[in-house]
Every structure is written in structure tokens, then in C-alpha cells.
Structure 1
Amino acid sequence: MIRNKYSNKSVVVRVIAFRKKEGSPVEVKVTPDVLDMELFDKGPKVITWKLDTVGFRFAPEGAIEITSPGAEKVFGRPVVSKEGRVVKVTNENNDGRAYAYNVRVLDEETQEVTVLDPSIGNRRPY
């Protein structure tokens, strides 16, 4: 893998939600599914999740939840936009650990919440 540094670029995770056919369960996908912070310079970064699918928004409770132990020392509180289509979280990005997180998406029509559990790999401290 070729390593690129993106010190001045935003860290963006694209989110989509969909049903394969009418009546089927909602599926949620994120790109990238593993956010490799090694691609960015060490130090604080704001991660922005953008929901690209009409008819869905981030769930009002727990839209982005970092679930790994010790996450509260590394990540700030998620801030959800008024429209519920963007979530931002600050990441210190300096401990080399991987963190699991949940993305919760709400189907605006049915009010059903779907959860996906991707991960973030932080840059090593050296």
C-alpha cells in the first residue's frame, strides 16, 4: 500500500442506507469501512460522517458512538447537524489503537434504526 499524507484535508466517511427491495431490511454502508488514520498526519483531526441517501438521517441518539474502551480519552462528543445528515467527531489520532464504533441511521418513513459497526485505526505515536 502506498502511503499518502493528507495533513490539510478533511477526514470524511461517506454513509449510505438502502433497501435491496421493498420490505427488506435497511442496510448501511460506510466508505471507508475501516478508517485508516495512518494516512493522515499525527495529531487532532475532525472526522466527518456524511449521509448521502435521501429518506434517511442519522439517529438522534447515538448517531456515532465510539464503543471501544478508552475512547473517551481520544474522541470528542459527536456533533450532529440540525438536518441530521452530518456528524463530526474530534479524534486525537496519536495512540496507534483501533477503535470500534457504531453508526446509527434512521429510516425517516418507518422510523426504524439500523446499526453498523465499522472501525477507526489511529496513527501510531512515533
Structure 2
Amino acid sequence: MNPFQTLRRPLAALFTASALISAIPTAHAAPVVYVDVRVGADEQVSFSPDPVAVKKPHTLIVFRLKTAGWAFADEGAIEVSEPGTQFPAASWTEQADRASLLDLMSESGQFKYSVTLVHKKTGRRLVIDPVIKNGADD
């Protein structure tokens, strides 16, 4: 038996299991709040919405960078100043224009956070400090 035949069965089983898992419907998808981030010509950064209003537990906050030439920092793109128990994990940068953060939203309050952007050509960094409001009303 050649090595390909030896690997073929485990690989086939892996792909079959993966297909089955992806076909299982998600009964309770986590709520998502999208935040659009833009950098103006004067390097003023704007967020929409601002502040970020989180109203449901276990909300994924997805930051979407809408300005070409800029990227979220590879690590620490979104950092909550005092995360306490509300933000149990560090943010993660999914791609240059998308970073995410999990908010447990088990307590109401305002949480200051920083967003770090990097200019793709120069490497210059911008750090901005907006607010997340847990349990916020419109």
C-alpha cells in the first residue's frame, strides 16, 4: 500500500466529519454589533456607532475598518482599559480591516477601550480611545 492510500481514509473521515459539523444549525447564534471605523484625511478617526451600545449577553463586537491604507494592529488592536469580567479574552485581528472583541455584558456600565490602527505604508500608529456602553439604551 502506498503512503497516499494510507492517508486517504483518515483524510476522508476528517472531511466527512467537518461537513457534518458545519451542517448542524446553530440554535442560538451570538448577537453581533458592527462598528465601522473610518480615518479622515486629517487622521481624525470616527466610529459608527459611537459609543458602542451592547444590550445582549455574549455579544461579539466586530470592528470594520472602512479606510484604505490603514490596518488594525496584528495584536492588541482593541484593548479595554479595565476589562474586569466583561471582556474575558483579548481581541483578535481577523484580517487587516476586521478585528473582534467578545463582551459578556453581564454588568451595565461604560468601558473605555483603545483602538490601534497602523498606516500600511509608513507603519505609523494611531491610538484612539472611545467607549463601550453595556446595557445602553438608544
| RMSD over aligned Cα atoms | 1.9
CA distances 1:34-78 after superposition (whole Å, capped 9, x unpaired): 1122xx3x311100000011110012232101012xx14111221
| Residue in 2 that maps onto 1:23 | none
Deviation at 1:18, TM superposition (A): 2.7
Deviates more, 1:7-16 or 1:53-62: 7-16
Deviation at 1:8, TM superposition (A): 7.1
| Residue in 2 that maps onto 1:95 | 107
2:40 is aligned with 1:18: yes
Contact 1:48/1:89, CA 8 A, preserved across alignment: yes
| Residue in 1 that maps onto 2:51 | 34
Matches within 5 A, 1:10-89: 10-20=32-42, 26-37=43-54, 40=55, 42-68=56-82, 71-75=83-87, 76-81=89-94, 83-89=95-101
The TM-score normalised by the length of structure 2 is 0.70
User: Helix, strand or coil: the match of 1:12?
Assistant: strand
- Code of the residue aligned with 1:34 in structure 2: it is P
User: Helix, strand or coil: the match of 1:73?
Assistant: coil
Higher relative contact order (CA 8 A, sep 6+): 1
Deviation at 1:31, TM superposition (A): 1.0
The alignment covers a number of residue pairs equal to: 107
Give the gaps of 5 or more residues in structure 1: 1-6, 21-25
Please state which structure has a larger fraction of its residues in helix.
2
**Identical aligned residues as a percent:** 25
Larger Cα-atom Rg: 2
Return structure 1 stretches of 4+ with deviation > 2 angstroms: 7-10
